Every structure is written in C-alpha cells, then in structure tokens.
Structure 1
Amino acid sequence: MATMHVDRTGSGRFPRFSLVALAGRTLGAIPPPAQVLVGIVSVQIGAAVAKQLFGAVGSTGTVALRLFFAAAVLLLIWRPSLRMSRRAWAVAAGYGVVLGVMNLCFYLALARIPLGVAVTIEFLGPLAVALAGSRRWLDGLWALLAGGGVVLLTESRGELHLAGILFALAAAVCWGLYILLGAALGRQSSEGGGLAIGMVVAAMVAMPVGVVESGMSLLDPAILVLGLLVALLSSVIPYSLELEALRRIPPRVFGILMSLEPAVAALVGLVVLSESLQWTQWLAVICVVSASVGATRSARPSSP
C-alpha cells in the first residue's frame, strides 16, 4: 500500500542529539513488525481516549488539543530550520492544511459513529491511492471488495448517523491527499523539519474551530493532561515507530501490517469504549482489510 513517510531534522545541539540517539537506540531494539503493530494500537487507543474527551471539550476542541501538543512536541524534538525553499514551504503548508482538515473530519465522524466503522471508512483513502492508475483485473476485484464492505456498513447502519459516514468519507479523501503530500514533503525537506512545520500549520487550522466550540474549557489542567496524552498516543509515538519501521522493512510489508488498522480499531472500540458492532459491520471490516492486504501484496514494486 502506498504510504507516507517523511524524514526529520533538528539543530544538532548536544541535548537534542542525546535525546534523539537514545530514542533511536530504544526504537531500534524493537522488531519492525512489532513497531508497526504497537503504532497501530497506540493510534486507536489515542482515538478512544480522545472520544472520551468529547463530552468536556467537544470533538473539534479535542482535535485542537491533540494537534497543538503534537506540534509542540515535534518542534521541541526536531527544532526545524525555517530556511526552506518556497516550494518546500508550499508543500509543508498544504500538508498541514490537509492534516488539520483530516483530523477535524475524522473526529467529527468519531463523535457520531463507532471507532471501528469510522476507521474502516477512512481507510478507503490510502486504499484508493494504492489502487490508483492500476488497470489489472485483480486490483479491480480488491476495489469491488472494499466497496462491498462500505455498502455493508451503510446498509446495516441502524443507529449510524449519515453525517458521521460523510465526515468519515471526507477524512478518507484527506488521508489520500495526506499520503501524496507527505511523499512530496519527504522530498522537499530533510528529516523531521517539514513534519514539524506541517503539524504547526495543522494546529493553526484546528485551533480556531476548537476554541469557538470549547472556549476556556480547553485550559482546564485535567483536560490539558488528557490532550497531551492523546497527542502522544495518536501522533508522536506512532509517527516515530512507523518511520523507524520503514527504514528496516519493505514498504509492501509495512502496508500489509497497516491493513490491520480497521480491525484493531474495531477491537479497541469494543474493549475500551464498549462499542459493539453488528455481524454485518464486522464482515464489512473484514472486506476492507482483505482488500487492503490483497492490493498491497499484488502491487508492483515501485521503479527505483
């Protein structure tokens, strides 16, 4: 499956070098498949924690907190240089806008439909990128299988809100754009500088919306601690693990492992949020996961 990965950078000062070197040694001791799986679980637990914040600060307020703290942590770690070309700035800004909108749409969906359903629909974005431009009948079969999964979700929606499904589809479109812009960002910036700047732009997109909805409640100390936890679980930890894994395993293997994300989301929703799915919805999750695995396994290797 096509995926996004960007390199990272910093100032090279001794404290930062020691921190990054220690983090690198720690991550390097974890087998790559375990890194990807831990990252997936971390993202979904972060989403579950975030959903529990909705009652206090709303879905957009939660997004604002997550992106603000994620940007702060990434800036602290990578200390990006502002000396980038105009094209690099344009790509980083576009990446950040898409990232901000994607998170807003996903959390607005999450406020209305179960976690497993939201992630399954959103996962159509990277699947579409993986299948884009293919003329092989087998890839058409994977697309039909994924489409069948979405039909099952909508046909069995029961208590599902149409608005939640539409927000999840919008997040899927943004995820596809996020992958394409992330690849461009990796070419235009070195190490983590572009990622950190893009995260700042994403926070700037989400903060005004979150402040309008939540106001001063965003400054509650307990809410701030939970917001930091969501940022670490949903952004900082998984991004770091995925980047390290991509250095050590082929992108195709990485894509197959990432295909498990909808199923993990459904399980986390069941265990953490007590969100049980109907058997048709579980079948829909299996369809999308199977389509993703199949598309990734049958993908032709990229040209060097």
Structure 2
Amino acid sequence: MSASPFQRFIPFLAVLGSVTALGVGTSWAKHALFPVVGAQGTTAVRVGLSALLMLMLWRPWRWRLSRADAQAVVLYGAALGAMNLMFYLSLQTLPFGLAVAIEFAGPLAVAIWSSRRAVDFVWVALAIVGLALLLPLGLSGSTLDPLGVLYAVGAAVFWALYIVFGKRAGHLHAGQSVSLGLLVAALVVVPVGVAHAGAALLSPSVLLVGVAVAAISSALPISLEMMALKRLPKEAFGIMISMEPAVAALLALALLGERLDTVQWLAIGCIVAASMGSAATARRLPAVQAQPA
C-alpha cells in the first residue's frame, strides 16, 4: 500500500520541527541562562543535562563497544563539546542567526570536500560571498564583534571535525553513539562551566530551565532528525536542514528582538543557497549532520 500524502509529509514536518525546536531552545537559553551563568555555564547545563537525558533514554551500556569504537566516540564527543562551547561563546556578542550562518561553513566545507566536482565551485563562491558580507574584514562595513566571529568560526571548525569523527562511529547504533558522545562532550564543557559559574549552576531555577532547554534543543531535535533520516534521502534531508540559519534568524527576531539589516539577510541567503545547492548536487553527504547547539 502506498503512503498517504500526510505520511509522505511527516519527515518534512520532522525536520522543520527539529530546526524550530533547536532555535527555540537556544533562544530561551540565551535569554534566561546567559545573564545568570554566562555562555560557559549555559553550555555546561545544556550539554550536561542533555547527556543525562540521552543516557536514560538509550542506556548505551546495553551494546558492546570495542576499543577502536570507544576512541571514535571520544573524538566525536570531544568535537561536539567544543563545538557547543564555541557556539555559545559566539552568542555573547553575535545575533543568533548570524552565528548559525557562520557556523554552517563547517558542514558545507566537509560536504564540498567530499565531492570536489566542478559544480561545487558555485557553492563555494556563494558561501564566500555570504561570509564576506558578514565577517568584519573592513570590506562590507560589518560591525560584528571580531571575537564573536572567531568563536563562530571555531564552532564551524569543530562542527566539521564532529562530522568527520562521527562518520567513524557511524556504524554504531545511533542511540549509543549520540548518548556516549554527549557524555564525552559533557566531560569537556562541564568543568569549564563550573570554573566560570560555580555554585550558580546548582540553582533550582537554572536547573529547571536547563532541563527544559536540554529537552527542547537536544533530545527532541535529535529524535526528530532520526525519524526524518529513516524516511528521507540524505540529499533531501541536507536541503531541508540547510534552512536552519534562516529559521534561527526569524526565531531570534521573534523571541529575542534581534534585528538584522538587509546585507546580513542577504548573507544568510547566500549561505543557505550554498548549503542547499551542495546538498542537492552532492553524490553523497556526510553520515552525521546533527545540530550544533
């Protein structure tokens, strides 16, 4: 029996729900947690509680793990933790949508490097135009904070490494690799958050918001993405997830009042178009393209 129109639409709703949930959770964290525990503390609470939620959900100790697989998971998780920390540090001074757009250079670079076909030069050019419109190089009149941009570029580098290392662990059960990866990520970022925020991390209000943010921006998006990936070609999934910078900018406008000028919207459009084009024309996409924040 063929799938109904609604059933065929479910994976697209799942991807949209994932991107939206991630944006809502991150916006909430920036609004409610940054003033109390800072970017470092927010990262610690979000990643640490996400790890606990995913460990309880998947119980990864049920599957055996070889030494080689354990090494792959450690590298994958360390990249995940550093990516989250760099991204949240960038949000201290950058609008949410622009930080996501800069960070998207990481997976875009991996996808293009994996293909290396002539058409990819078009996507490279689009991405370069978009980044040139954002980066404070004195060419576009950008007023973005240079340190915030460096943090976002660092997040892009670690997102690329996260994809590369994630492919090495791609043969493991997704629940096992994601939950153990988050555990390693928590071991990376929680000490940084404790050193910065101290006992404030144990405040009931911080923990309550942290649990909600962890569920909305980690557990829910990952679960929705896994549902979508089972029903969508990777190319279609890549095209849809490429809308994240634009969705993030719209959510930041609605929830945080972060307004972008015309040039910044144009930059986001170039980066989204480059990512969508790369996904549409690539012969194969990286096996792991989970959300950074």
TM-score, structure 1 normalization: 0.87
Select the residue among 66, 84, 94 that pairs with 2:75. Answer: 94
2:16 is matched with 37
Deviation at residue 298 of structure 1 after TM alignment: 1.2
Which structure 1 segments of 5+ residues have no match? 1-27
Select the residue among 109, 120, 123 that pairs with 1:142. Answer: 123
Deviation at residue 30 of structure 1 after TM alignment: 7.4
* 1:200-249: CA deviation from partner (whole Å, max 9, x where unpaired): 11001001100011011111101101111111111100000001100011
1:74 is matched with 54
1:175 maps onto 2:159 in alignment: yes
Aligned partner of 2:130: which letter?
G
1:152 maps onto 2:133 in alignment: yes
Deviation at residue 141 of structure 1 after TM alignment: 1.1
2:206 is matched with 223
Q: 1:276 to 1:191 in 2, by over 3 A?
A: closer
Q: 1:296 to 1:218 in 2, by over 3 A?
A: same
Aligned partner of 2:38: which letter?
G
- The CA distance in 1 between the partners of 2:163 and 2:131, in whole Å, is 21
Quick check: 1:156–1:281 contact (8 Å CA) kept in 2? no
1:24 is matched with none
Quick check: 1:142–1:295 contact (8 Å CA) kept in 2? yes
Quick check: 2:127–2:274 contact (8 Å CA) kept in 1? yes
Select the residue among 43, 49, 55 that pairs with 2:28. Answer: 49
Root mean square deviation, CA, Å: 1.6
Quick check: 1:32–1:249 contact (8 Å CA) kept in 2? yes
- The 5 Å alignment of 1:1-304 reads 31-52=10-31, 53-81=33-61, 83-154=64-135, 155-156=139-140, 158-187=142-171, 189-301=172-284
- The CA distance in 2 between the partners of 1:186 and 1:104, in whole Å, is 23
Aligned partner of 1:172: which letter?
A
- The CA distance in 2 between the partners of 1:152 and 1:179, in whole Å, is 26
Q: Secondary structure at the match of 1:148?
A: helix
- The CA distance in 2 between the partners of 1:210 and 1:168, in whole Å, is 18
Q: 1:29 to 1:217 in 2, by over 3 A?
A: farther
Quick check: 2:18–2:221 contact (8 Å CA) kept in 1? yes
- The CA distance in 2 between the partners of 1:191 and 1:244, in whole Å, is 11
Q: 1:219 to 1:286 in 2, by over 3 A?
A: same
Q: 1:156 to 1:42 in 2, by over 3 A?
A: farther
Aligned partner of 1:183: which letter?
K
Q: Equivalent pairs: percent with the same residue?
A: 45
Q: 1:109 to 1:79 in 2, by over 3 A?
A: same
* 1:34-72: CA deviation from partner (whole Å, max 9, x where unpaired): 000000011111110111111100001000001111111
* 1:142-163: CA deviation from partner (whole Å, max 9, x where unpaired): 1011010000012456442101
2:291 is matched with none
Q: 1:192 to 1:146 in 2, by over 3 A?
A: same
* 1:158-194: CA deviation from partner (whole Å, max 9, x where unpaired): 442101001001100111111122222121x224112
Aligned partner of 1:165: which letter?
V
Which structure 2 segments of 5+ residues have no match? 1-6, 286-293
Q: 1:114 to 1:83 in 2, by over 3 A?
A: same
- The CA distance in 1 between the partners of 2:272 and 2:222, in whole Å, is 21
- The CA distance in 2 between the partners of 1:199 and 1:111, in whole Å, is 23
Q: 1:298 to 1:121 in 2, by over 3 A?
A: same
